[in-house]
Every structure is written in structure tokens, then in C-alpha cells.
Structure 1
Amino acid sequence: MHIPDNYLSPQTCAVLAAAAVPVIGLALKKVKYQVAEKKETVPMLGISASLSFLIMMFNVPVPGGTTAHAVGATLLAILIGPYAASLAVTIALIMQAFLFGDGGILALGANIFNMAIIMPFVGYGLYRLFQKAHHSKIGVVIGAYLGINAAALMAGIELGLQPLVAHNAAGQPLYAPYPLHIAIPAMLFAHLLVAGWVEAGFTLAVYQFIYRVAPSELYATPVQPVDPQTPHRLQHALYLFIGGLIILSPIGLLSSGTAWGEWSASGLVAQLKHDHLGHSLPSGMAHGLNFNAIFSDYTVAGIPLSLGYILSAVTAVIIFYLIGKLVMNHYSTQS
């Protein structure tokens, strides 16, 4: 679901970035008030960004030779609130784009809009609807499943609109070449069939664990903590869980296919030839941005791919942790 650069026209990227910026700005204000009431929100933001980053490293195979992955946005919204979850996923997406080349730089606004805004707010809204009816677990599953599929639908619409909004005088697409009737089913197929269930299962499993050991730490809960050490114990447990995800992260390499709509230039040409839709890149894509990330595709030059995957995960988690510490120190000096 990470839209690469050059798949969306610059105008589309600008519109989606303009739509995302005010929401992220509002999230910053909301989280500032949230931190003032509960300082533990700051380290939980770093933990949440780490969780989302790591979950997205676990690619799963989809029938037809493509792959997909969970995001964890609904889980984070249930844990720390939708606005804080939006910030956490945004931080993860920025890290992925600039350091690991996963998702485009110009397309960052689109990816934030889909995965850091649509997904957590849709998922959390559905969860709260069922929670109020005293069916929290059902809300967790439905919220997570439909949240990621809402984001996938949005990505499919964005990609599928490109032949309509960006084409040359002859009507040939300049950017993503697949129209709506192909892009939307392709995106939804992978997520309705596979990724949505992975997202729902993972979200429910972690939710049940947190509800059992620290129910007061869930964002929308009337339960008040009776032990001031409960937040710290939960953080410790989640760091252990993050460590386990880091060790297991090379499992994501077992899915060798490429997610639909995330092909490299050569991969897209091969796909177009396979679908009998052309033999060359659309001209806008061929002359677009070519950003080379330091650890592109989570690889480190000179070391085995699996070890590079682990080192990439460790690097990201350390950066998220340090960001959390810096923010925490900032609030400590102000109080």
C-alpha cells in the first residue's frame, strides 16, 4: 500500500498532502493536550511507531504472486487514541520513505492520508461503535479489518484516477497506467482476502494481551489505574514484544512477490508487457523523481539480506526511542 514516487501525478500528490497536513496539525495539538494529562503518552508514541514500522515489514503472500502487509493503525488508535496513532504511523512512514525507500517522497502525503489518517480513524470509529454496545472484541476485529480495507480502497482510487487526470494529447497515461476498474479490485483483493485478516488477527491478539495485563492503559476505558507502575510494566512488555518482532522480521523476506502498485520501473514494464498494455514506462514516470535511500529495501551493503533486515529494524526502533526520549526531556524541562 506504500505508493512509490512517480505513480501519482505531482498535482495529485499536492492535493493529498494538502489534505493530510491540517489533520496532522490537529493531531499534534490534540496529542500535546494528551501528553499534558498523561506523560506516558510520549514513550508510547515511540513504542507505537516501532510497532507499526515492524508490522509493515512482515509481508504476506497473496494469491496471484503479489504481497501485502498489515499496518497496525487501528491497534495503535485503540491503545493511545486515534490522534496519537495518526502521529505514530506518520513518523513510521516518514522513516520508511527517507531511510529505507519504502514509499515515495512526493507520495508521502498520499501514504500518510491513507495509512495514518483514513486507517486509524475509520478503524477506531468502528471499534468505539461496538465498544459502546459492549462488544469490544467484535469492534476490534471489524475496525481493524475494515480500517485497512478503507485505506486500500483509497489507494486504489488514487492510482486508478491517474489515467483520467494525467494523460498526454493521445490519451496515454503519464503516471500509474491502470484505470479504476483494475486498480480498485487489485488493491481490495489483496486486503479483503489476506492483509485484512492478518491485521484483524494481530490487532485482536495484542488487544487481548493488553486488556488482560493493563486494561487501564487502553485509550477509551473507564478503568482507572490502581498501580502507578502499570504503565511502565506495559511499556516493558511491549519493548520485549518489539524485540521479538525484530528477531522474527526476516520472515517478511519469505514472500518474494511485489505488492500490487509498488513495482520498480523495470518491474512495472514487465507487468505491462504481461498484461499486454505496453512495452515502456509512461513518460511522466520515466522522467520523475529518483530518490535513492541509504538502506533501500531494508538492505545493508555487504551483509546477508536477513541480517540487513534485522539491522534496519533495530536502527528504526533506536531512532524512535531516541525521538521519544528527546520529546520526554523537552516536556520534563517545561514542567
Structure 2
Amino acid sequence: MHIPDGYLSPQTDAVLGIASAITAAVAASKTASTVRAKYIPMLSVGAAFSFTIMMFNVPIPDGTTAHAVGGSLLAVILGPWAAMISVSIALIIQALFFGDGGILALGANIFNMGVALPFVSYGIYQLIAGKSDILSKRRMIGAGIAGYIGINMAALCAGIEFGLQPMLFHAANGTPLYSPYGLGVAIPAMAFAHITIAGPVEGVVTGLVIAYLQRSNPVLLQMRADSEKSASPIQYGRYIAGLIVIALLTPLGLLASGTAWGEWGGEDLQAKLGFVPTGLKKLGDFWNHILFKDYGIAGFDQSFWQQALGYIISAFFALLVIGIIGFAIQRFTRKSEGHT
């Protein structure tokens, strides 16, 4: 679901970039006014969880792959505004350092996975869970359903964005300039992958984690990052340990071969279609300062074990960067609190 550069027109990138930037500004304002400095690490944990969970590719019957996002779980625990910030941090790091999603298309990817997904998920969760007890099964079931619907909404947004390109942006002879797939192809393709595989994965992960937290740490489920009631201390050690375990397991994502639908490079499109859209060819390599392309290490071969090591190094690098960002935000927040 990470749209690469060149698949969307600059106009589309600009519109979605502005929409995402405005939403991010509102999210920052809403969370900054209520989130205490001691809860900033939870946003970092959320970003790290989203980043690592997206490294676990799952196979789709059509030969492509897909992945969960984790935004639904973060929306249930932190609220949609804070979830938007956490997922956006993960997406920015993926695009900048790993080439997973485009820089020009970053606004679109944030809109799909950082705005549509958590807000839809949160709305569905609230609709089902209502005011039920924090330990109620309704909350676990609601979280699972919310995860399923939320990621499918994100996929629908991506499908529409892909599909509108050949309708709106094409050469005089009708050849697409950017995404070559119309609505009749893009929406069903995205829907198939997420209705059948990625949606159930997102839903199951969300529901199971909520069920686990209900048994082990229900206090966390009462901590909304945008709620004034967030006053209970949180023990972060177990969550950091969990992230380390997840990072070590990320090579499991290599077991799913194939590329996610709509993330093919120019050579792949040439082989599939016999041509590469002009705009895609021009913008596809817009960002060429990638440190760990496709979560690999320069000089490593394509053997499973070297790829696996590259995945693990990439995951821990991302955790480090997210930790530094979280620490910086926490320091800034504490200084702000000290002056109020």
C-alpha cells in the first residue's frame, strides 16, 4: 500500500500532501495540549510498532504481497489523532531511509494509512464498543472489526488514487502518464488483497493485542493520549522488549515472495505492460538517498540469511531513529510544561 513516486501526478501528490499536512498540524495541536511529557514514549512505541509490523509481508493468492499497518490498534489505545502522528513518523522513516513509499507520494501514503485508517477504525470501534466495560469482549471484537474495516478503507483510498490517474493525466494518444491502472483494475486489485488477507491480519492482530492488554494491563486501555484522564503511570519496559522481539522476527516477512500491488518499478512495468508511463519514468527515482533500499544492506547478497540480517539491522536502525525522535519531543514537551 506504499505508493511509490511516479504513480501519482504532482497535482495529486500536492492535494493529498496539503490535506495530510493540515491534519498533522491539527493532530499535533490536539495532542500537544493534553499529552504529558511522560506519555510521549507511548507515541514512539506506537510508531515503532507500526514500522515493524509493516515489515511482515503476507502472500496474496495473485502472487503479490500485502501487510498490516497497526494503525487500528494505535487508534484504539491512543486515539486517532495520536495514532496519526505515530503512523506518520513510521511512514516518513520508511520513505526517507528505506525507499518504502515515495517522498513525493508521502502525503498520499500518510492520508491513506495515517488518516483514513485510524480515524475509520476508531469510529467503528467506538460504534461497537460504546460505553462497555474496559474488560468487555465487545471491545476486543470491536477492535478486530475496526482493524479489518480500517485497513480496507485505506486500500480503497489508494485504489481510487491509482485509478484516477489514467483518467485525468494522459498523453494526447491516451497513454497514461502515471499509474497505468484505471479504477476498474486498481480498486478490485487493492480490495482483493485487503479483503482476503491483509484485512483479516490487521483485524486479528488488533483484536488479539486488545484481548492481551485486557488481561495483562487494562490501565493502558484507559490511557487515551488525547484525554485529560491520562494520569496512570505506564511501564514501558515490557513494550520495548516486545518491540525487540518483533524486530528480530521481521525476516519472516521475507518468506512472502513478490511485490505489493502497485509498487512495481519501471522495469517490472515494462515487462508487464510493454511500456513505462512517461511521468513515472521521470519521477520514479526522485529520491535517491536511500540508506537501506528494500530493508537490505549494500554489499549483501540475495541469500536468505544475509537478507534476514539486513531486515534485522534495518528494524533496529528504525527503532533507534524513532527513539531519538521521541526523546527530542519529550524534552521539548517537558520544557514547554515547565513554562506553563
TM above 0.5: yes
SS in 2 for 1:177: coil
What is the aligned-residue identity percentage? 48
Pick closer, same or farther for the CA change 1:255–1:150 going to 2, 3 Å: same
Q: Look up the match of 1:327.
A: 329
- Is 2:37–2:334's contact at 8 Å kept on the other side of the alignment? no
Q: What does 1:193-208 correspond to in 2, within 5 Å?
A: 193-208=196-211
In 2, distance between residues paired with 1:45 and 1:109?
A: 20
TM-score under structure 2 length normalisation: 0.91
Aligned equivalents of 2:230 and 2:154: distance in 1? 34
**Structure 2, unpaired ranges of 5+:** 133-137, 301-305
Residue from 97, 100, 105 that aligns with 2:98: 100
1:214 equivalent to 2:221? Answer no
**Cα-to-partner distance string for 1:301-325 (whole Å, 9 max, x where unaligned):** 1341110110000000011111111
User: Partner of 1:280 in structure 2?
Assistant: 275
How far the C-alpha of 1:90 sits from its partner, in A, is 0.4
- The DSSP-based 3-state class of the residue aligned with 1:316 is helix
- The residue that corresponds to 2:135 in the other structure is none
Give the whole-Å Cα distance in 1 for the aligned partners of 2:161 and 2:333.
Answer: 39
Distance in 1 between the 2:61 and 2:284 partners?
A: 31
Tell me how far apart the structure 2 counterparts of residues 332 and 34 of structure 1 sit (CA, whole Å).
13
SS at match of 1:261: coil
Displacement of 1:241 after TM fit?
1.0
The AA in structure 1 aligned to 2:149 is: L
Alignment of 1:17-36 (within 5 A): 17-35=17-35
The secondary structure found in structure 1 opposite 2:37 is: coil
Instruction: Name the residue aligned to 1:4.
Output: 4
Distance 2:152 2:38 in 1: 31
Question: What's the CA shift for 1:212?
Answer: 1.8
- Superposed counterparts of 1:163-202, under 5 Å: 163-202=166-205
Q: Which residue of 2 aligns with 1:112?
A: 110
1:137 matched to 2:140 = yes
- What is the rounded CA distance, in whole Å, between the counterparts of 2:258 and 2:188 in structure 1? 18
* Whole-angstrom CA distance in 2 between matches of 1:204 and 1:40: 26
Amino acid at match of 1:326: A
Unaligned runs of at least 5 residues, structure 1: 273-278
Task: Give the counterpart letter for 1:238 in structure 2.
Answer: Y
- Superposition RMSD in Å: 1.7
| Structure 2 Cα separation of the partners of residues 329 and 24 of structure 1 | 20
In 2, distance between residues paired with 1:255 and 1:267?
Answer: 18
CA contact (8 A) 1:34 1:41 kept: no
The one-letter amino acid of 1:255's match is: A
**Larger deviation: 209-218 or 259-268?**
209-218
Paired AA for residue 22 in structure 1: I
Aligned pair partner of 1:302 in 290, 299, 303: 299
Aligned match for 1:49, one of 47, 56, 60: 47
Give the alignment partner of residue 317 of structure 2, picking from 312, 315, 318. 315
Provide the secondary structure at the position in 2 that maps to 1:77: helix
Cα shift readout 1:136-178 (whole Å, capped 9, x = no counterpart): 1221011000000000000000000111110011111111001
Look up the SS of the partner of 2:5 in the other structure.
coil
Distance 2:77 2:63 in 1: 34
